[in-house]
Structure 1
Amino acid sequence: MKDIRLPARHRRRSPGRLAGLLMALLLVILGLSGSAAIAAPDGTAAPAPSKVRVPARAMDAVAAMQPSWNLGNTLDAIPDETSWGNPKVTKDLFDTIRAQGYRSVRIPVTWTDHQSATAPYTIDATFLSRVKQVVDWAQSDGLYVVLNVHHDSWQWISKMPADHDNVLARFNAGWTQIASAFRDEPRTLLFESVNEPAFDNATDAQKTQLLNELNTSFHKVVRSSGGGNANRLLVLPTVGCTPSQNFMDSLSATIGALHDSNLVATVHYYSWYPFSVNIAGGTRYDESAQKDLNEAFARMHDTFVAKNIPVYLGEYGLLAWPDHNHPDRVERGEALKYFEHLGYAARVAGVTTALWDPGTFAYLNRETLKWSDPALFAWIKSSWTTRSGTASFDKVFVPKSSPITAKTLTLNPNGTKFRGLWQGSTPLTPGLDYTVTDNQLTLTARALTRLTGDRRYGVNATLQARFSRGLPWTIDVITSDTPVLSNATGTTGSFTIPTQYRGDVLATMEARYADGSNAGQAGWTPYQEFNAAFSPDYPGGTIILTPDFLNALHDGTAVTLTFHFHSGATVTYHVTKSQGSVTGTTS
């Protein structure tokens, strides 16, 4: 690990040191900034030319950071770097990220277990040195870096309403040490005051006042530390990093009061909540989800970007997707629509976006340094520069129990032009295999008969709708019938419903008592949360009802479950809990 260099004011000046400073001044005159170390005449370190020439204007610098990626659940893991299942960071990781087209990385850090909880709130030197090593690896690859205070937000900063002075003192002490350790880093390093700040038992007005105090104090501590921190880009969040208008207005006021042209606003965006976790019937990326995204980015633009305050979207994604340890709760094609739309909306709004990657095989496999889902990454990457066409769904269900008829999807060209349907390298024939009228794509009975073949349950063929630019939209042709459920018994700790899926795919589950009221742990909606209340086990031929869902049911009261499938089929089922035992019946 590299040693942490002391601030210049603590070093003994010498003729050699002066020569090194003159060399650094020459590099500044040439428009370069330092990111590594070169030897001055006396062997001391002096800034070397960076691989990145940082624009003077904050707006231009943040634009140059697009796209960005999060090193999630690593240095922010509690208590240590590998505690949440990710391997230790290597320089190869940043080599990969840079090669994949990323221009910046956000490095979340949780300092709590590496900082004393009492004055003088000292940060462990070994941990600080490790953080610096990781930051320097990223910068050596020409990446901008955003370094922050992360889960400290809910571990101790949230107690600020009741313990104001101690929290503020610890916060200031932490940033004093971080600013000192990194004061000689180039301007490619940005500081973010705190991630998703929260305050216990506080009103919105109190939250904004406390965050203003933290952001203002952070600004004063960093700027007063001198060196590269004098004009370093500083990133300030809204309350909870929420893009709601009231919190963004408050942050805008804070930024205006600081009179500093090197400030950046940050918020996070994880989509419309029902869609992001598949609850309350949010199974599709529908008009509600699209409206939520459009309005969020419009607010970011109008509140900040239009006033020449850059916006760094420090985290984006879906709250519960992907999760390679469980069935997909967000349908794949609908998730791709979200990522495609977000990339476009960010470009229109002038917002730099940072994908939240928690590791453990979610996006980039930290062990193999390969994308866990290359096709998904292709959609994310494409969204950085262009639009791709989609359709109303990525599946066409053909019932096995009835004659084959034509099926229609709605094309969403997104500014592109539809160029045809393909199966592998073979184009389908317009007029015979499909027709297009006013963006209504209809697969003929003739084509579906050929594509379904022997009509085995499941995916029989995969098509591509190709457009004039962007990525093709994949359409699975599936033979299915209405699923069949069977009676079952079990306990609140283990209960499954025998299920013949017959090619269909589970979308959501309603749960109601006989009087029509909602049943289950999500009492505000009858549509329970996918994987939290229920989960399909396709290989095992069951639907799992979770202990959390079953324990939330009234004892001795029958509950009617309605399972909704992506084909449009619905199946009704009944469960009754009685003193820990559970009975399920089809009637």
Structure 2
Amino acid sequence: MKDIRQPAHHRRRGTGRLAGPLMALLVILGLSGSTALAAPGGTAQQAGSTVKVPARAMDAVAAMQPSWNLGNTLDAIPDETSWGNPKATRELFKTIRAEGFRSVRIPVTWSAHQSATAPYTVDAAYMSRVKQVVDWALAEDLYVVLNIHHDSWQWISKMPTDHDTVLARFNSLWTQIAERFRDAPRALLFESVNEPQFADATDAQKTKLLNELNVSFHKIVRSSGGGNANRLLVLPTVYCTPDQRLMDDLSATIRKLNDRNLVATVHFYSWYPFSVNMAGGTHYDEAAQNDLNDAFARMRDTFVARGIPVYVGELGLLGYPDHNHPSRVERGEALKYYEHVGYAARLVGVTTALWDPGTWAYLNRETLKWTDPALMAWIKSSWTTRSGTASFDKVFLEKKEPITAKGVTLNLNGTRFRGLWHGETKLVEGRDYTLFDTTRLVLTAGALTRLSGDRAYGVNATLQARFSRGLPWQIEVVTYDEPVLSDATGNTDGLTIPTRYKGDVLSAMEARYGDGSNAGPKDWTVYQEFNATFSPDYPNDTIVLKPEFLDSLRDGELVTLTFNFYSGKKVMYHVKKSGDSVTGTHVVPLS
């Protein structure tokens, strides 16, 4: 099987909002930021800011928890609004601070605003805009991490074959950034490069090249003087991946630099199959949980235990949430991940920065409201406590069958179960449910009959399992029957399969050729990537097979698809591509 922990980029598109004319004038004059004053002990204090940065790097990074990313904004290509978000405002940072975040990461892609030839000058207006945004965040008493972002794959990745040009451009860029921000307060951190990568290079070459960039970055910033003399500097692993070998390489660089103001950074998007829902990763199962526990233990042992603070500069799931598409990760399974990762960060003592790509995900940048307040409640709760969960967030009742007792297994996470509620009504233990061995919660047939009512397809009732602390866990009572798929015709631009879901929820799609081999663009797994190769369309009662999947199929060969549903049902379907044409045929069940 191929390596399934793969790096990811985050790119979107869209519209913008203009800053006020007075502020625009101040930017042109170079007066948009507050003046920085030298403070005792070599620190710098931003006028109008109350952030007191601890002298010790470990304490300073701890004070940055929790953190948030201004994703797909200044890192968008070519301009700030190109990927669907409005221009950043000071009100945005005021909102982030009020919501409990203590720091922000401001990713910046410089390539479209920097000359690609010597002396590699950054456009003055763009540099001023970056400074304006940074100053707004600092003025709201937030720590700020400023970096070089998608430049990593746009031109820095060419370093193996164009070494001198890339290094000269990188050095020039950091020279200009360091000079512009040399007198900013110590609450501003610099991150050398996001997800560094090097095309067509061996592992050893990647290590050597990244070490060269990190060392050069360190030398440039420190030699620029002012507040940069003791500014916290953030250094990444290759790809920002938390693999042991890559973290060992970074640890060696940090030891060699012998600087107490260095911070290690990695990213964490969970076990890859779960994060994108492929290769059978439909649940936050033991494999996904172990991947998280192991990754955070490695961060602790490699860095934290040796006095090196860790900033997890991007945290989340690769395809979740995305309110423009069906959720590829089942909601309850996603909540279990967010609950766990918040606890793990506290347990090992690292600071985490939620990757927020914009309006379609966490914070709506137009309204400055959370797109999914309940999801954010789980994320926020994980910062300070644990919450109980369960093996799943749904109990399925097949409509054609008599109702029988159904149950879930509670994950107490150090809490105590307090009871089960339906709205404001507390269910009665012994009559409505039974609790076995403190964790096995079984709803009686009588309670389920009452809760399912007329047994319409879909969610009939929502229960709350409440615990001694943290948030309640919702359990939906769902009536369903086996979904039915119908014949369809289309082409390689897409095949739309009429589907009667009958209350069920699609979880995965398997694809096999007649000889038993895997079909699809990633033939190392039979399970195809959710939303990339197939996607449910519940409002229109269809399943859509995507061009990425159809283009990959062998011409003229029959492919058997097995659609998996969260009820446990599996429905088979045949697809055949002939040239540009595609036909789909439902398979009659044997029983």
TM-score when normalising by structure 2: 0.93
Partner of 1:173: 172
Does residue 1:257 correspond to 2:268, yes or no? no
Partner of 1:274: 273
Q: Partners in 2 of 1:494 and 1:256 — Cα distance?
A: 53
Q: Partners in 2 of 1:33 and 1:451 — Cα distance?
A: 61
Spell out the pairing of 1:385-464 with structure 2 (5 A cutoff).
Answer: 385-438=384-437, 439-464=439-464
Q: How far apart are 1:332 and its partner, in Å?
A: 0.4
Partner of 1:28: 40
Does residue 1:531 correspond to 2:531, yes or no? yes
Give the secondary-structure state (helix, strand or coil) at the position aligned to 1:265: strand
Partner of 2:56: 57
Q: How far apart are 1:4 and its partner, in Å?
A: 8.7
Q: Partners in 1 of 2:491 and 2:180 — Cα distance?
A: 56
Q: Residues 72 and 543 (structure 1 numbering): CA distance in 2 closer, same or farther, change over 3 Å?
A: same
Does residue 1:573 correspond to 2:573, yes or no? yes
Partner of 1:43: none
* Structure 2 counterpart of 1:349, one-letter code: V
Task: Summarize deviations over 1:445-476 as a string: whole Å, max 9, x none.
Answer: 01000000000000000000000000000111
* Structure 1 counterpart of 2:481, one-letter code: D
Q: Partners in 2 of 1:261 and 1:3 — Cα distance?
A: 34
Task: Summarize deviations over 1:290-314 as a string: whole Å, max 9, x none.
Answer: 0000000000000000000000000
Partner of 2:562: 562
Task: Summarize deviations over 1:303-362 as a string: whole Å, max 9, x none.
Answer: 000000000000011011111111111000000000000000000110000000000321
Task: Summarize deviations over 1:43-94 as a string: whole Å, max 9, x none.
Answer: xxxxx6x311100000000000000000000000001100111000110000
Partner of 1:540: 540
Task: Summarize deviations over 1:349-395 as a string: whole Å, max 9, x none.
Answer: 10000000000321000000000000000000000000000000001
1:223–1:230 Cα contact (<8 Å) kept: yes
Give the secondary-structure state (helix, strand or coil) at the position aligned to 2:164: helix
Partner of 1:247: 246
1:33–1:53 Cα contact (<8 Å) kept: no
Q: How far apart are 1:493 and its partner, in Å?
A: 1.8
RMSD: 1.4
The count of corresponding residues between Structure 1 and Structure 2 is 558
1:4–1:181 Cα contact (<8 Å) kept: no
Task: Summarize deviations over 1:77-135 as a string: whole Å, max 9, x none.
Answer: 00110011100011000000000000000000001011111111111111000000000
Partner of 2:465: 465
Q: Residues 32 and 244 (structure 1 numbering): CA distance in 2 closer, same or farther, change over 3 Å?
A: closer
Give the secondary-structure state (helix, strand or coil) at the position aligned to 2:539: coil
1:185–1:228 Cα contact (<8 Å) kept: yes
* Structure 1 counterpart of 2:101, one-letter code: Y
Query: 564-573 vs 575-584, which deviates more?
Result: 575-584
Q: How far apart are 1:428 and its partner, in Å?
A: 0.5
Q: Residues 32 and 310 (structure 1 numbering): CA distance in 2 closer, same or farther, change over 3 Å?
A: closer
Give the secondary-structure state (helix, strand or coil) at the position aligned to 2:321: coil
Q: Partners in 2 of 1:157 and 1:577 — Cα distance?
A: 41
Q: Partners in 2 of 1:360 and 1:96 — Cα distance?
A: 14
Q: Partners in 1 of 2:513 and 2:431 — Cα distance?
A: 50
Q: Partners in 1 of 2:109 and 2:489 — Cα distance?
A: 45
Q: Partners in 1 of 2:380 and 2:479 — Cα distance?
A: 32
Q: Partners in 1 of 2:269 and 2:258 — Cα distance?
A: 31
Give the secondary-structure state (helix, strand or coil) at the position aligned to 1:291: helix
Q: How far apart are 1:551 and its partner, in Å?
A: 1.5
Q: Residues 208 and 143 (structure 1 numbering): CA distance in 2 closer, same or farther, change over 3 Å?
A: same
Gaps of 5+ in 1: 7-19, 37-47
* Structure 1 counterpart of 2:167, one-letter code: L
* Structure 2 counterpart of 1:578, one-letter code: S
Q: How far apart are 1:522 and its partner, in Å?
A: 1.6
Partner of 1:141: 140
2:28–2:125 Cα contact (<8 Å) kept: no
Spell out the pairing of 1:72-221 with structure 2 (5 A cutoff).
Answer: 72-221=71-220
Partner of 2:520: 520
Q: How far apart are 1:5 and its partner, in Å?
A: 9.5
TM-score when normalising by structure 1: 0.93
* Structure 1 counterpart of 2:453, one-letter code: G
1:364–1:371 Cα contact (<8 Å) kept: yes
Q: Partners in 2 of 1:156 and 1:547 — Cα distance?
A: 30
| Consecutive aligned runs of 4 or more in structure 1 exceeding 3 Å deviation | 1-6
1:521–1:552 Cα contact (<8 Å) kept: yes
1:5–1:181 Cα contact (<8 Å) kept: no
Give the secondary-structure state (helix, strand or coil) at the position aligned to 2:319: coil
2:150–2:194 Cα contact (<8 Å) kept: yes
Percent pairwise identity: 75
Larger radius of gyration between Structure 1 and Structure 2: 1
Spell out the pairing of 1:322-401 with structure 2 (5 A cutoff).
Answer: 322-401=321-400
Query: 71-80 vs 485-494, which deviates more?
Result: 485-494
Q: Partners in 2 of 1:360 and 1:5 — Cα distance?
A: 32
Q: Partners in 1 of 2:29 and 2:165 — Cα distance?
A: 28
Give the secondary-structure state (helix, strand or coil) at the position aligned to 1:567: coil
* Structure 2 counterpart of 1:28, one-letter code: P
Gaps of 5+ in 2: 1-23
Q: Partners in 1 of 2:267 and 2:312 — Cα distance?
A: 5
Does residue 1:507 correspond to 2:507, yes or no? yes
* Structure 2 counterpart of 1:500, one-letter code: R
Partner of 2:498: 498
2:359–2:371 Cα contact (<8 Å) kept: no
1:4–1:132 Cα contact (<8 Å) kept: no
